[in-house]
Amino acid sequence: MSHPNASTQPLVLNVERAEDVVRAATMLRDGRVLVVPTDTVYGLAADIFRPGAIGRVLEMKERASDSPLPVLLGSAADLPLLSNRVPRLAWRIIELFWPGALTLTLPARSGLHPALTGVGNTVACRVPASRSCLEMLESLGTPVTGTSANRSGFPASRLGLEAAETLTTGPDAVLLDDPHVPGGPPSTVVELRDSLIVVLREGSVGVEELRRETGERVVLAKALEDLTERR
């Protein structure tokens, strides 16, 4: 059943049809908002350079504007669109874990929509491993919002049409990955503080894996906060 505030039914597209993937990218370029497949659940995608579309994402999710929206990139080559200060350690992490379920929090470049940066003036971004999502991003040529397609506080969905029905208003289109996306843990979110990797959210990439693969110090944000408070 649709949400009582839902608008007309969204256009249904399928990743198996190349023309549908191109059409999804064209709609995003025109400022539309789409439900799209990601690595684990369906996401709510809007071109990050379309302020009106980002505003709709916040409304559809009933999400506070001070809770930054994550960003999906077609490739690491798009990072200069988001940040002009990418540390050397960040590039090492990118080489090891992108495309994949690891989100990097980096200093945001000026001019980005505040819904992407929040009060810390950082931006959380990753290159997804989902082939269908990557094809759409490559066709579009610019990053998109990568937040899950659900109202804040509600569970995310592995089914595209189900995800669309949980939003306060309907998206313009749903790009379906048949039969559904795989589910699983969300992406791990990390922030770099000098040579320290701080895990802001545990997820698909574990702390021990990060330590082993990078050879750097890795600490959970909560543990770091507790240590700071005890000093």
pLDDT at 213 over 70: yes
pLDDT at 225 over 80: no
Please provide residue 76's backbone torsions phi and psi, each rounded to the nearest 5 degrees: -65, -20
- Structure confidence at residue 6 (pLDDT): 45
Q: What is the 3-state secondary structure (H, E, C) of 169-211?
A: CCCCEEEECCCCCCCCCCCEEEEEECCEEEEEECCCCCHHHHH
- Structure confidence at residue 89 (pLDDT): 96
List, for residues 159-177, the tens digit of each pLDDT value.
Answer: 999 999 999 999 999 999 9
Which CATH number characterizes residue 45's domain? 3.90.870.10
pLDDT at 197 over 90: yes
- State the total domains in the chain: 1
d(CA 81, CA 125) in angstroms, rounded, equals 11
List, for residues 103-142, the tens digit of each pLDDT value.
Answer: 999 999 999 999 999 888 999 999 999 999 999 999 999 9
- Structure confidence at residue 67 (pLDDT): 84
* 98, part of any domain: yes
pLDDT at 1 over 60: no
% residues pLDDT > 70 (the chain) = 94
Specify the pairing of strand 147-148 against strand 42-45. antiparallel
* 110, part of any domain: yes
* 64, part of any domain: yes
d(CA 141, CA 181) in angstroms, rounded, equals 23
* 18, part of any domain: yes
- Structure confidence at residue 224 (pLDDT): 78
Structural domain for 140, as ranges: 11-187
- Structure confidence at residue 227 (pLDDT): 59
Please compute the mean of the pLDDT values over residues 84-103 and round it to a whole number.
96
% residues pLDDT > 90 (the chain) = 84
* 4, part of any domain: no
List, for residues 69-81, the tens digit of each pLDDT value.
Answer: 999 999 999 999 9
* 97, part of any domain: yes
* 154, part of any domain: yes
* 95, part of any domain: yes
